[in-house]
Structure 1
């Protein structure tokens, strides 16, 4: 498995600053594969972080696809922009993810990766309204971690239950990597 060169650079920089809230390489490779399936797709990433997962998504996208990536932390977004802004397929939105979701009603997407609270633990219905039929909705960080406070674990369990009960989604739960759900809008 070949790691995108820019992903290696981003990973080194986030290690240097002590940022640990990025997706792991297993999830990143899956994102690349799923992005590759969306020819001429419109993709959305909620929670850019420093751009590690963004670099993998871009590595899977064809030249006609586009990605909007949203991050509230300006410092982290600057790192992502430093490495990825030369790619014309990506648009960076620095700001609150929930605000973006609630104002994006004129957008629809073929792929949504929600790697932050907005789009996963808040504004879920609004996020899923942005997903095209046949589009992928991907979330990670669903396996219990010892350092999670009990309220967070309860929110994750409720989220998984809510997604499983939806009639407009077909979902697959993966007890792999950090725990993922891949859903397709039906």
Structure 2
């Protein structure tokens, strides 16, 4: 199988199940125009995030890694009135693009963007008593995944869902000798999830328009 086939299948899924969405398409165009990396989720993956949020009845969502706000829009659309997505972005320029995209989507009242490194913004959320969040989506720098998991456990409750994106690293996650900081971060993330009695977790490999990758899914237990 090839990347062309994976992309064609994703395009078929999206054409079959996802109506055209000018707001999301504009968000991607603005991301490209700003020279931002193409790290956003695919449309069918965005819809999956929305469904996960709806399945767990989320009212409060924490997103670690905003980029251009593409996945933020999917998540915010899942929330009822009065719901809130708090999204953390280290890069001020990226945060500004995301802010414009979220405003154009009519979701500014549901989204709070916090600018700063997660190592700085996550402790502030805990200090403010911002949790518990019903769903946390971790999609930022992979070497910091262990840190993000630690703070996520402080910001959740039994029944909360924690999703980690981009965990396969083109298969390198299975290599214990890898010296890639991203792989090391993801492997440590898995080790911590496995050792944490409060978590019930799994992970899946995926192929599609974004290549060979995958995500982890965990529920916080009592």
Instruction: Assess same fold via TM > 0.5.
Output: yes
Whether contact under 8 Å (1:39, 1:65) holds in the other structure is no
Structure with greater helix share of residues: 2
Which residue number corresponds to residue 162 of structure 1?
192
Which residue number corresponds to residue 130 of structure 2?
107
Measure the CA separation in 2 of the matches of 1:31 and 1:71.
18
Gaps of 5+ in 1: none
Q: CA deviation at 1:64?
A: 2.9
State how 1:140-179 maps to structure 2 within 5 Å: 140-145=165-170, 150-177=180-207, 178-179=213-214
1:2 to 18, 21, 40: 18
Whether contact under 8 Å (2:61, 2:86) holds in the other structure is yes
Moved more, 85-94 or 138-147: 138-147
1:135 to 127, 151, 160: 160
Measured against aligned partners, the alpha-carbon deviations of 1:47-95 in whole angstroms (never above 9, x if no partner) come to: 1001011111112222231111111111111111112134211111112
Moved more, 41-50 or 121-130: 121-130
Is 1:181 paired with 2:216?
Answer: yes
Measure the CA separation in 2 of the matches of 1:18 and 1:104.
27
- Could you say what secondary structure the match of 2:146 adopts? coil
- TM-score of the superposition, structure 2-length normalised? 0.75
Whether contact under 8 Å (2:18, 2:44) holds in the other structure is no
2:29 to 2, 8, 12: 12
Which residue number corresponds to residue 110 of structure 2?
89
Q: CA deviation at 1:116?
A: 1.0
- Could you say what secondary structure the match of 2:134 adopts? strand
Computing the radius of gyration over CA atoms, which structure comes out larger, 1 or 2? Answer: 2
Distance 1:82 1:40, change over 3 A: same
Which residue number corresponds to residue 140 of structure 2?
116
Tell me how many residue pairs correspond in the alignment: 186
Whether contact under 8 Å (1:38, 1:61) holds in the other structure is no
- TM-score of the superposition, structure 1-length normalised? 0.88
Whether contact under 8 Å (2:53, 2:135) holds in the other structure is yes
Measure the CA separation in 2 of the matches of 1:22 and 1:40.
22
Distance 1:92 1:18, change over 3 A: closer
